Amino acid sequence: MVGAEYDADRPTKTMKMDPFAALFAHVAPSARTFFTGNLCATAQFAGGGHLHLLKGGVLKVTQTGRDDIVLEDPTLLFFPRGRAHGFVGDPDRGADLVCATVDLGSEAGNPIGQGLPGLVVLPLASHPALAPVCELLMAEAFTDAGGRQAALDRLFDYLLILIVRHVVDSGGVQSGVLAGLADPRLARALTALHEAPGKLWSLEDLAEVAGMSRTRFAAAFKATVGRTPIDYLTAWRMTIARQSLAKGKSVKSVAAEAGYDSPAAFARVFARMTGQSPRAWSSAHEAGGA
């Protein structure tokens, strides 16, 4: 730019490391809105994750083998996995709801769901940081403006990230990769793995990135994440490989991207992890998409 000069002595502002950036770049959670309105009867939900936003009214939440939950104030309910649950709306007032299915990518090996509680209940009065997004979401849900579905889905996507961030920051995740990302030292190693899955990482390399001894790092990683660093690296590589194969990339290029010396070596690991060869998995994925 004309007139601009670079001053080497001028202090520059460095960005703080974002431990979720590389993870979400590959396996960002997504949501799809399927219900908006007043529920005055009963509804059952099973299979896959769900995110519900109670705007107003009275709602009873039922779960097999668990106590019922009665909600009378605006509340977020997040079921990360396929826990069956039901709703009973107040027969007189009903319950104003916005509901979405949640995809954490579990079929593709997405590690986000690991360690998340089976149900997250967030009353909006106790979590003001979520209120602005929820207000926008509810405003969209109860109007007929153009682009409503797309707006709702994107707001739910953003809300999912806020919920995951909140659960991690509040210590609600005790195991899995999200728990590892909550630990500053393990987060450095995990972020390095996420950013460069094709690198020939060794345990010593990762321990050095974490700023820990090899023994302490290996023990802390296994205790927190639930698997050894090299096992996690392999699983992460297969997650990336599935995504690349789903985009139509060749087995040879995917093998190189994942850090394997040959397609044959990659295929052996892929088959061990998924139960299918890369080509068989690609064919099944293509048939399922069709």
Give the separation between CA 225 and CA 230, rounded to whole angstroms: 12
pLDDT at 16: 62
- Are residues 225 and 135 part of one domain? no
Give the separation between CA 239 and CA 281, rounded to whole angstroms: 13
Q: Is residue 6 part of a domain?
A: no
- Are residues 283 and 257 part of one domain? yes
- How many structural domains compose the chain? 2
Query: Tokens 């939440």, residue?
Result: 61
The candidate with the shortest Cα–Cα distance to 103, out of 93, 113, 118, is 113
Q: What is the pTM of this model?
A: 0.78
165-216 confidence digits (pLDDT tens): 888 888 888 888 999 998 999 999 999 999 999 999 999 999 999 999 999 9
Q: Is residue 4 part of a domain?
A: no
- Are residues 201 and 165 part of one domain? no
Are 81 and 106 spatial neighbours (Cβ–Cβ below 8 Å)?
yes
Give the tokens for residue 245: 């194969």
134-152 confidence digits (pLDDT tens): 999 988 888 888 888 999 9
Query: Tokens 């998409």, residue?
Result: 289
Are 220 and 185 spatial neighbours (Cβ–Cβ below 8 Å)?
yes
- Are residues 282 and 191 part of one domain? yes
210-257 confidence digits (pLDDT tens): 999 999 999 999 999 999 999 999 999 998 898 889 888 999 999 999
pLDDT at 218: 97
Q: Is residue 129 part of a domain?
A: yes
Give the separation between CA 177 and CA 179, rounded to whole angstroms: 5
Mean pLDDT along residues 37-66: 91
Domain boundary among the residues 113, 138, 169 is at 169
Domain boundary among the residues 169, 198, 213 is at 169
- Are residues 200 and 81 part of one domain? no
CA 108-79-91 angle, to 5 degrees, is 140
Are 96 and 55 spatial neighbours (Cβ–Cβ below 8 Å)?
yes
- Longest Cα separation, the chain: 70
- Are residues 212 and 164 part of one domain? no
CATH number for position 210: 1.10.10.60
Computed on alpha carbons and rounded to an integer, the radius of gyration of the chain in Å comes to 22
Q: What is the extent of the structural domain holding 277?
A: 183-289
- Are residues 218 and 123 part of one domain? no
Q: Is residue 5 part of a domain?
A: no
- Are residues 212 and 156 part of one domain? no
- Are residues 156 and 46 part of one domain? yes
- Are residues 245 and 151 part of one domain? no
